[in-house]
Amino acid sequence: MKKQSTVRLVESALLIAIAAVLELISKALGLELPFGGTITLVSMFPIVLIAYKYGTKWGLLSGFTYSLVQMLLGAKTVSAMFLPGDDQMVLWQAICICLLDYVLAYTLLGLGGIFKGKFKKPAAELALGAFVALLLRYLVHIVSGAIFYGAYAEWFFTQEGFYSIGEKILGTFSGSSLAIAYSIFYNGLYMVPEIILTTVVAAILGSVPQITGQKKVK
């Protein structure tokens, strides 16, 4: 039992480290959006895999741990919300953004194993778990973005590159509905590709017994 716990701890730490490295590589490749959010090299997959292999409780704990790592990786952005300057926010808003966009959003990745044992093929379980976990993360970002960044919606949709679709959106939505549309659109720029890529990778790697720790099902 002690040996199993040690293996679980070491493997989880290694996977969290891999997730962080994949995030850093993605940013180095210029995949980060100008106002936050990054299309990563499936950096969420290692966290989903932890949840699948070791259960939801351990997965949520690992997701929470990774949320703290994410805050460290985004220290410049996080600190800017609290320190005097152009990006400084009201204290309660800054705290809420950290809790939503970091703590809750990444902790939810720990739900990636909820379908384990529900299907015959681990690949299907892992892929569906990845899809749901990342979709939940996307929804949290939508809520946070609509509440705290919705005021930038009109400005955003009048910028070069978005004017065509922005004109249609501005002509259709206003007020709170515009804030929600903006948050869905902006966060979707990186989360939709992230969801698709991670789900595909989960489906592929989920068929490898050595990765999932499951017996191969014919």
Q: Is the confidence at residue 215, as pLDDT, over 70? A: no
Main-chain phi, psi angles of 38, to 5 degrees = -140, 135
Q: Is the confidence at residue 45, as pLDDT, over 90? A: yes
pLDDT at 216: 52
pLDDT at 106: 98
Class of domain 8-212: mainly alpha
Are 70 and 16 within 8 A, CB to CB?
no
Q: Is the confidence at residue 217, as pLDDT, over 50? A: no
- Give the range with max mean pLDDT: 4-8, 100-104, 153-157, 166-170: 100-104
pLDDT band at 75 (very low <50, low <70, confident <90, very high): confident
pLDDT at 185: 96
Main-chain phi, psi angles of 32, to 5 degrees = -85, 135
Q: Is the confidence at residue 139, as pLDDT, over 90? A: yes
Q: Is the confidence at residue 60, as pLDDT, over 50? A: yes
Q: Identity (one letter) of the amino acid at 36? A: G
Closest CA to 51 of 191, 202, 200: 202
H helical segments located in 31-174: 45-54, 56-73, 75-82, 91-97, 105-107, 122-148, 153-156, 163-172
Mean per-residue pLDDT for 26-50? 94
pTM of the predicted model as reported, rounded to 2 decimal places: 0.93
Mean per-residue pLDDT for 44-48? 98
Mean per-residue pLDDT for 152-172? 89
Side-chain-facing half-sphere of 87: CA atoms under 13 Å:
12
Helix, strand, coil shares, percent, the chain, to 5: 75, 0, 25
What percent of the chain shows pLDDT beyond 70? Answer: 97
Give the residue with greater pLDDT, 195 vs 3.
Answer: 195
Taking only the tens place, the pLDDT of each residue in 11-28 is 999 999 999 999 999 999
Taking only the tens place, the pLDDT of each residue in 79-129 is 889 988 877 789 999 999 999 999 999 999 999 999 999 998 999 999 999
